[in-house]
Chain A
Amino acid sequence: MISSTHILILSSILFSIGLIGVIIRRNAIVALMCVELMLNAGLLGIIGSSLTTRDPSAQILVLFIMLIAAAEVAVGLAIIVMAFQHLRDTDLDNYSSMKW
């Protein structure tokens, strides 16, 4: 039986790896994937902290977050595709025209 401490530590390590990726990677798609990794670390944290009470509501919460994340990935990739069609580039440094 795994304790929830182990899972919470694993989730925080994964979260920080995803944070490093978001900061150092300049490719827009890889940055979006790192955001996905951070989101998954958060979901793992929810599951890990629900291990003490074993409430099935936590799983339903994680399930809905997963479904929303699917929609979010679709919209994010659509925005990247549109920006690539306009700028012919996926480098986030060249997306600075989206600032204003």
Chain B
Amino acid sequence: MIFLGLSAITILSAVIMVLSRRPIYSIISLIVCLYGLGGIYLLTQSQFLAIVHMIVYAGAIMVLFLFVIMLMNLDFPESLIRHKGIRLGAILTSGVIATIIISRIDRFAPSDAVRQSLTVKAIGKLMFTQYIAVFELSTIVFLSATIGVILVAGSRPVTPR
């Protein structure tokens, strides 16, 4: 029941995000959608992932989107009417893709046969022993992303209009 409610909230806010005309409303409904996804992560008993998802995604990344839109005054309303053929094609294409994916899903029975511990302690232990190289590499990725962002967005426009 909780899963049905959460997934209804998630799908509804995703549809609102796609259909709303102003980017601010899209961001707000995407935040709602990501919190719903965090609740679903909690239902699958992956608590650490739910917390990280809520902090990193719904917190940091969405605040980044909001800052860019608000600081650059990018909140132009956009009319959704002018691409009728594209809209029909998009709905057809993604409907076909969704039916293909859903029909290929194996029907798993709900199993709680193997109960490995998914606590924060187990995940941290695994991350800092077996996956320590990946962890260090991700810090390098972050450093290069930071340098790249500063180089791309921090420079003045070459041809000011």
A94 within 8 A of B: no
Interchain Cβ contacts under 8 Å between A and B, 16 examples: A2-B44, A5-B108, A16-B98, A17-B18, A19-B90, A25-B78, A29-B65, A37-B14, A52-B108, A59-B48, A66-B57, A69-B61, A71-B141, A74-B64, A81-B153, A82-B155
Chain B residues within an 8 Å CB radius of A63: 48-49, 52, 123, 127
Residues of A within 8 Å of B89, CB to CB, are 23
Residues A53 and B152 in contact in the complex (CB < 8 Å), given A10-B10, A23-B86: no
Contact B142 A12, beta carbon cutoff 8 Å: no
Contacts of B78 in A (CB 8 A): 25-27, 30, 91
In angstroms, Cα B55 to Cα A70, docked, is: 11
Say which size band chain A's interface belongs to.
Answer: 35 or more
Name the A residues within 8 Å of B44 (CB-CB).
2, 7, 47-48, 51
How far is it, in angstroms, between the C-alpha of A3 and the C-alpha of B105 when the chains are bound? 12
Q: A66-B52, A70-B56 are in contact. Are A15 and B157 (CB under 8 A)?
A: no
Instruction: Say yes or no: A57-B65 contact (C-beta < 8 A), given A24-B80, A26-B83, A81-B72.
Output: no
Do A62 and B49 form a contact, CB below 8 Å, given A9-B102, A19-B94?
yes
Of A7, A24, A52, A90, the contact of B18 (CB 8 Å cutoff): A24
Size of the B side of the interface (Cβ < 8 Å), in residues, is 84
Question: What 1/0 mask marks residues of chain B from 95 to 107 whose CB sits below 8 Å from any chain A CB?
Answer: 1011001100111
A86 and B109 CA atoms in complex are apart in Å by: 54
Tell whether A68 is near chain B: CB-to-CB under 8 Å. yes
Contact B145 A3 (CB under 8 A): no
CA distance A62 to B46 in the complex (A): 11
Q: Which residues of B contact A23 (CB under 8 A)?
A: 86-87, 89-90, 93-94
* Smallest beta-carbon distance B157→chain A, Å: 4
In-complex Cβ contact of A6 among B3, B57, B161 (8 A): B3
Q: Is the CB of B108 within 8 A of A24?
A: no
Beta-carbon nearest neighbor of A58 in chain B: B46
Q: Which residues in B have their C-beta under 8 angstroms from that of A99?
A: none
**Least distance between A25 CB and chain B CB atoms (Å):** 7
A19 nearest CB across to chain B (Å): 4
A90 vs B72: C-alpha distance when bound (angstroms): 11
